Amino acid sequence: MTLPIYLPLGLGALLFGLGLWGALTRTNAVRILMFIEIMLNGVNLNLITFSRYYWQQNAESAARAPIITLFIMTVAAAEASVGLAIILNVVRNRGSVDVDKINLMKG
């Protein structure tokens, strides 16, 4: 690889930062869920980058990073499906997706 390792790692960090920005400022619950997916993607990018540059020495450990990434994606898919189901329920019961207005448990 001629590409310096800093570039993909920096892209992963920037993606995480952008996702953090979106997830903390938007009030629409669906949009927050989307930014969490973006943040997870930045993490995956870092993992795959490190694997590409350093973990290829023996065949035994080479397959680890794609498998961990697969599990991260599994958890992300499960989280997205349950999260969207919860959001749909909230919309039915409260008539709003604005997370600032979901204040039933507020003391």
Partner 1 sequence: MGQYFMFTILSIVTLVSAYQMVRVRLITHAALFMALAFTAVAGIFLMMQAEFVAAIQILVYAGAITTMVIFAIMLSGLADIKSERAKKGGLWTKSDPFVLVVGAVFAAFMSYLYVAAKLPQAKSDKAMASVEAIGRSLFTTYMIPFEIASILLLIAMVGAIILTAKEAEQE
99 near partner 1 (CB under 8 A): no
- Residue closer to partner 1 by CB (options 59, 104) is 59
76 near partner 1 (CB under 8 A): yes
Tokens representing 27 are 């009030």
Q: Name every residue whose Cβ is closer than 8 Å to that of residue 15 and which is 6 or more positions away in sequence.
A: 38, 39, 41, 42, 45
52 near partner 1 (CB under 8 A): yes
| CA-based end-to-end distance of the chain | 56
Binding mask 11-30 for partner 1 (x = CB under 8 A): x-xxxxxxxxxx-xxxxx-x
- Residue closer to partner 1 by CB (options 2, 103) is 2
- Residue closer to partner 1 by CB (options 1, 105) is 1
- Half-sphere exposure in the Cβ direction for 63 (13 Å, CA): 2
